[in-house]
Chain A
Amino acid sequence: MEANISLSLKNFTQLENFGHSLRASSYRFRPTSVKEIEEVFRLARESGLTVTARGAGKSYNDASLNGGGILLDMSAINQILGWDAASGIVRCEPGVTLEQLWQYVEPNGWWPPVVSGTMKTTLGGCLAANIHGKNNFRMGPIGEHVLEFTALLPTGEEITCTPKTNIDLFYGMISGLGMLGVFTSITLQMKQIESGLLEVDAWPVHDLHEHLAFLLDKAPNHDYTVGWMDTMTGGKSLGRGQIHAAHYLHGKEDPNPQATMQLNNQILPPRIFGVFPKSILYLFMRPFANNLGWWGVNTAKYIASLRKHTFRQSHAAFHFLLDYVPNWELSYGRGGMIQHQSFLPKETAEAAWREMLTMSLNRGIPSYLGVTKRHRPDKFLLTHAVDGFSLALDFKVTDGNRATLSQMLKDFDRIVLDAGGRFYFAKNSETSAEAARAFLGEDTIAKFKELKKKCDPNNLLESDLFRRVFG
Chain B
Amino acid sequence: MSNYPKPAAATPLNPRRRGIIIGASDGIGAALARRLAHEGYTLALLARSQDKLESLCNEINQTSRELRAHVYVHDVTEYEKVPDLLRKIVADLGGLDLMVFVAGVNYPPGGIDKYNFENDRKMIEVNLIGALAWLNPVAEMFQSAKAGQMVGISSVAGDRGRVGNPGYNTSKAALTTYLEALRNRLTRHGVNVLTVKPGFVQTEMLKAAQGATPFTVPPEKAVEDIWKAMQKRKQVIYTASIWRWIMLAIQHTPSFIFRRLSF
Which A residues are closer than 8 A to B by beta carbons?
7, 9-14, 17, 19, 21-26, 47-50, 61-62, 67-69, 335-336, 338, 397, 402-403, 405-406, 409, 429-430, 464, 467-468, 471
Contacts and interface: CB of A to CB of B under 8 A. Distances in A.
Contacts of A49: 87, 91
Contact of B11 (A68, A429, A471): A429
B110 interface: no
Contacts of B88: 48
Contact of B144 (A12, A48, A67, A338): A12
Given A402-B13, A468-B11, A471-B9, A10 B140 contact: yes
Contact of A14 (B11, B15, B146): B146
Nearest to B6: A471
Nearest to A335: B12
16 contacts: A10-B140, A11-B144, A12-B144, A13-B144, A14-B146, A24-B10, A25-B90, A25-B141, A48-B88, A50-B91, A62-B9, A68-B95, A402-B13, A402-B14, A430-B14, A464-B94
Interface string B134-149: 0001001100111100
Given A22-B12, A430-B11, 7 more contacts: A12-B140, A17-B12, A22-B15, A25-B147, A67-B95, A338-B12, A406-B14
Contacts of A9: 137, 140-141, 144
B12 A397 contact: yes
A468 B12 contact: no
A14 B147 contact: yes
Chain A CB within 10 A, most for which of B93, B96, B145: B145
A307 B90 CA distance: 57
Interface string B6-37: 00011111110010000000000000000000
A402 B13 CA distance: 5
Nearest to A11: B144
B59 interface: no
Contact of A430 (B13, B94, B140, B146): B13
Contacts of B144: 9-13
A7 B94 CA distance: 16
Contacts of A26: 95
Contacts of B93: 67-68
A25 B13 contact: no
Contacts, number: 89
Nearest to A17: B12
Given A13-B145, A68-B90, A22 B95 contact: no
Nearest to B89: A68
B10 A464 contact: yes
A399 B15 CA distance: 10
Contacts of B94: 24, 67-68, 464, 467
Chain A CB within 10 A, most for which of B10, B12, B14: B12
B204 interface: no
Contacts of B12: 17, 19, 21-22, 61, 335-336, 338, 397, 402, 429-430
Contacts of B96: 25, 68
B95 to A, nearest CB: 4
B92 interface: yes
A406 B145 CA distance: 28
Contacts of A12: 140-141, 144-145
A21 B12 CA distance: 5
Contacts of B10: 22, 24, 62, 67, 464
Contact of B9 (A50, A335, A464): A464
Contacts of B92: 68
Contacts of A48: 88, 91
Contacts of B14: 402, 406, 430
Interface in B90-119: 90-96
A308 to B, nearest CB: 38
Contacts of A467: 9, 94
A7 B15 CA distance: 27
A30 to B, nearest CB: 14
A338 B12 CA distance: 7
Contacts of B15: 22, 402
A62 B11 contact: yes
B91 A14 contact: no
B87 A47 contact: yes
Contact of B147 (A23, A397, A464): A23
A256 B132 CA distance: 70
B67 to A, nearest CB: 13
B137 A24 contact: no
A67 B141 CA distance: 13
A25 B146 CA distance: 10
Contacts of B13: 338, 397, 402-403, 405-406, 409, 429-430
Nearest first, the 8 closest Cβ-Cβ pairs linking A and B are: A21-B12, A67-B95, A468-B9, A67-B94, A14-B145, A406-B13, A9-B140, A68-B91
Chain B CB within 10 A, most for which of A14, A22, A397: A14
A52 B90 CA distance: 16
Interface string B70-98: 00000000000000000110111111100
A50 B87 CA distance: 12
A105 B251 CA distance: 73
A47 B86 CA distance: 12
A183 B72 CA distance: 38
A48 B89 CA distance: 12
Nearest to B84: A47
Nearest to B12: A21
